[in-house]
């Protein structure tokens, strides 16, 4: 079976603020040299429209069952819409994407929603949605190196999940990687991932924003390729989350999509995915988008309250939602544009709200990370405010696997998390190994 996409599809970089700058995807460039804005990948939609919408749906669906790469990847099964000119032999995939859409039936019915579903993006090779974008970025780097572009290594700043994804994909491709982590601000599981994959791990005595600043400075050297989400190649892979969600729902988008936001690349990516589906006629309307932030790292929420006049960078405080502990989001302007196009809102969650919302979802069989807890708490609050109407169909982007955050879970159920009242704690029962005591303990099961 041929997996090479039909020729004639093209994409290139364009200035995201529309100043007219364009460049080849095979240039090492992250910002518009004319106005300093971020770049975006612009697809030739006319060429893509040469295939009718119904045929795209058929193609995407037929590839979904494939056991072989590249179509076994949820991202590369949509190759033509992601990075059409990337040769199949340069794809670096670990089998990302194609994740469950998990219904939370009890929570939906308690909240009066028609449906509440988790797009489980953390059911993924390195345990977070970052894999969806990183497969595209690392594949592009592999292609650049094959073309003779002198890239020695790939580098990123991270709150834990980007570095795990980058180091895994780079290891698979045989490309050296360097990760900048804020010391003591990522979970132990997240720290050990790049270590295991052979990355050079720099643990810096600063926060994420400090790491981000440094990595931007060192990647001014073109031999070190920047892998943060200001690099718009990652957005192209993450955009597929929106495409896959609509495919899961037989191309009938939900009423609301709720996304936890830190650096705000993912909210922008989902927006781009929905917009492209609509422009191509695969869906007929857009969902509304809600971005959810931790109250302790809420610059977008504050800007939203102020009518999006401006971003006031803040010092993000320590939060259980450590992957979104970001005070100066790189994709702020992109995210504001997305929210404006999707009649969007921004909500925030306290430590107690996010931890209890995560525990509530866990009772239905998932294992929710604290960031997904932020999004679920936002759903509870937006329903209570009447912003999300009763009877709505709601999808939440679950961004990471809870197994990366075992300390958070243990602390919750022990009741030892600061500023959290554990309303659903389920601590183990400690007993002598005696039949009578065991029988007595089981009485409450009925």
Ligand X SMILES: *Cc1c(COP(=O)(O)O)cnc(C)c1O
Which stretches of the chain bind ligand X, using CB under 6 A? 128, 130, 161, 229, 260-266, 323-324, 369, 371, 399-400
Min dist CB 266 to ligand X, Å, is 3
Task: Enter the tokens of residue 277.
Answer: 């589906």
72/138 with CB nearer ligand X: 138
- Residue 35: CB minimum distance to Zn ion, A: 3
Q: Smaller CB distance to ligand X: residue 84 or 370?
A: 370
Task: Kindly state the tokens that stand for 93.
Answer: 């995939």
- What's the min distance (Å) between Cβ of 232 and Zn ion? 13
The residue assigned the tokens 């022990």 is 414
Question: Do the Cβ atoms of 312 and 337 come closer than 8 Å?
Answer: no
Measured N-to-C along each axis, helices 351-362 and 406-414 cross at an angle, to the nearest 10 degrees, of 100
Question: CB-based contacts of 334: which residues, under 8 Å, 6+ apart?
Answer: 16, 38, 40, 264, 265, 268
Rule CB under 5 A: say whether 438 interacts with Zn ion. no
CA distance 237 to 78: 9
Which of Zn ion, ligand X, none interacts with 16 (beta carbon under 5 to 8 A by kind)? none
Coil, strand or helix: which one is 152? coil
| Rounded least distance, CB 327 to Zn ion, Å | 25
CB nearer Zn ion, residue 15 or residue 257: 15
**First vs last C-alpha separation in the chain:** 57
263 binds, among Zn ion, ligand X, none (CB under 5 to 8 A by kind): ligand X
Q: State the minimum distance, in angstroms, from the CB of residue 360 to ligand X.
A: 18
For position 22 contacting Zn ion by CB under 5 A, the verdict is no
Length of the chain: 446
Residue 444 Cβ vs ligand X, minimum distance, rounded to whole Å: 35
Q: Which does 182 bind (CB under 5 to 8 A by kind): Zn ion, ligand X, none?
A: none
* Residue placing its CB nearer to ligand X in the complex, 70 or 97: 97
* From the list Zn ion, ligand X, none, partner contacted by residue 324 (C-beta under 5 to 8 A by kind): ligand X
User: Rounded to the nearest whole angstrom, what is the least distance from the CB of residue 34 to Zn ion in the complex?
Assistant: 5
Stretch that binds Zn ion, among 37-45, 80-88, 142-150, 303-311 (CB under 5 A): 37-45
Minimum CB distance to Zn ion smaller for 272 or for 381 = 272
Q: Which two tokens stand for residue 182?
A: 């804020």
13 is an interface residue for Zn ion by CB under 5 A? no
Query: What sections of 30-160 are H helices per DSSP?
Result: 45-48, 53-64, 79-82, 105-111, 130-146
Q: Which is nearer to ligand X, 21 or 132 (CB)?
A: 132
Nearer to Zn ion among residue 152 and residue 333 (C-beta): 333
Of 72 and 396, nearer to ligand X (C-beta) is: 396
262 binds, options ligand X, Zn ion, none, Cβ within 5 to 8 A by partner type = ligand X
Residue 261 interacts with which of ligand X, Zn ion, none, CB < 5 to 8 Å by class = ligand X
Sole window of 31-39, 118-126, 149-157, 216-224 interacting with Zn ion (rule: CB under 5 A): 31-39
19 near Zn ion, rule: CB under 5 A: yes
Cβ contact 308:335 at 8 Å = no
Query: 147 φ, ψ to 5°?
Result: -85, 0
CA gap 235, 191 in Å, rounded = 24
Between 116 and 324, whose beta carbon lies closer to ligand X?
324
Give the span between the Cα atoms of 368 and 34, in whole angstroms. Answer: 43
How far apart (Å, rounded) are the C-alpha atoms in residues 362 and 342? Answer: 29
Cβ-proximal residues to 341 (8 Å cutoff; 6+ apart), any chain: 271, 275, 286
Among 11, 25, 32, 420, binds Zn ion (CB under 5 A): 32
**Residue 414's binding partner, choosing from Zn ion, ligand X, none, with beta-carbon cut-off 5 to 8 A by kind?**
none
Radius of gyration of the chain (CA): 22
Neighbours of 114 (CB within 10 A): 14
CA distances from 145 to 125, 138, 141, 174, 197 (A): 24, 10, 6, 11, 20
Asked if 35 interacts with Zn ion (CB under 5 A), we say yes
Shortest Å, Cβ 42 to Zn ion: 12
Q: Which is nearer to ligand X, 166 or 394 (CB)?
A: 166
- Which stretch in 34-42, 58-66, 282-290, 340-348 sits in contact with Zn ion by CB under 5 A? 34-42
Residues 6 or more apart whose Cβ sits within 8 Å of residue 445: none
Decide if 38 contacts 235 (C-beta within 8 A): no
Residue 36: how many CA atoms within 13 Å on its side-chain side?
1
Residue ranges that bind Zn ion, judged by CB under 5 A: 15, 19, 21, 32, 34-35, 37
């Amino acid at each position: 079976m041929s997996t090479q996409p039909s020729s004639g599809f093209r994409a290139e970089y364009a200035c995201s603020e529309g100043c007219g700058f364009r460049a080849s995807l095979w240039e090492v460039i992250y910002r518009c040299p004319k106005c300093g804005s971020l770049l975006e990948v612009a697809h030739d939609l006319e060429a893509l429209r040469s295939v009718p919408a119904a045929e795209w749906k058929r193609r995407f669906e037929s590839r979904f069952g494939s056991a072989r790469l590249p179509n076994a990847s949820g991202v590369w099964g949509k190759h033509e819409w992601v990075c059409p000119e990337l040769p199949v032999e340069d794809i670096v995939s670990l089998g990302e994407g194609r994740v469950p859409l998990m219904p939370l039936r009890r929570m939906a019915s308690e909240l009066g929603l028609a449906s509440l579903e988790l797009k489980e993006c953390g059911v993924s090779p390195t345990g977070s949605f970052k894999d969806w974008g990183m497969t595209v970025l690392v594949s592009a780097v592999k292609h650049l190196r094959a073309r003779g572009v002198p890239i020695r290594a790939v580098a990123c700043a991270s709150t834990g999940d980007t570095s795990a994804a980058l180091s895994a994909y780079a290891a698979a491709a045989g490309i050296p990687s360097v990760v900048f982590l804020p010391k003591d601000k990522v979970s132990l599981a997240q720290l050990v991932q790049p270590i295991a994959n052979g990355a050079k791990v720099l643990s810096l005595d600063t926060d994420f924003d400090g790491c981000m600043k440094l990595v931007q400075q060192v990647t001014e050297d073109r031999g070190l390729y920047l892998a943060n989400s200001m690099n718009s190649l990652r957005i192209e892979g993450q955009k597929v989350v929106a495409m896959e969600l609509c495919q899961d729902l037989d191309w009938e988008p939900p009423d609301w999509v709720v996304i936890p936001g830190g650096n705000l690349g993912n909210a922008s990516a989902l927006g781009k995915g929905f917009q492209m589906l609509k422009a191509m006629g695969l869906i007929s309307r857009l969902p509304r988008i809600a971005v959810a932030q931790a109250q302790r790292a809420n610059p977008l929420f504050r800007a939203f309250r102020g009518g999006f006049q401006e971003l006031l960078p803040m010092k993000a405080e320590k939060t259980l939602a450590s992957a979104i502990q970001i005070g100066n989001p790189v994709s702020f302007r992109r995210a504001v544009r997305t929210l404006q196009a999707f009649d969007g809102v921004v909500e925030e969650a306290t430590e107690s709200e996010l931890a209890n919302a995560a525990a509530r979802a866990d009772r239905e069989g998932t294992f929710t990370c604290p960031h997904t807890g932020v999004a679920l708490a936002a759903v509870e609050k937006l329903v209570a405010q009447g912003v999300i109407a009763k009877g709505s169909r709601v999808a939440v982007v679950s961004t990471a696997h809870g197994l990366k955050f075992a300390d958070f879970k243990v602390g919750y159920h022990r009741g030892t998390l600061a500023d959290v009242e554990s309303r659903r704690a389920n601590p183990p029962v400690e007993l002598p190994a005696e039949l009578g005591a065991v029988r007595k303990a089981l009485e409450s099961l009925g």
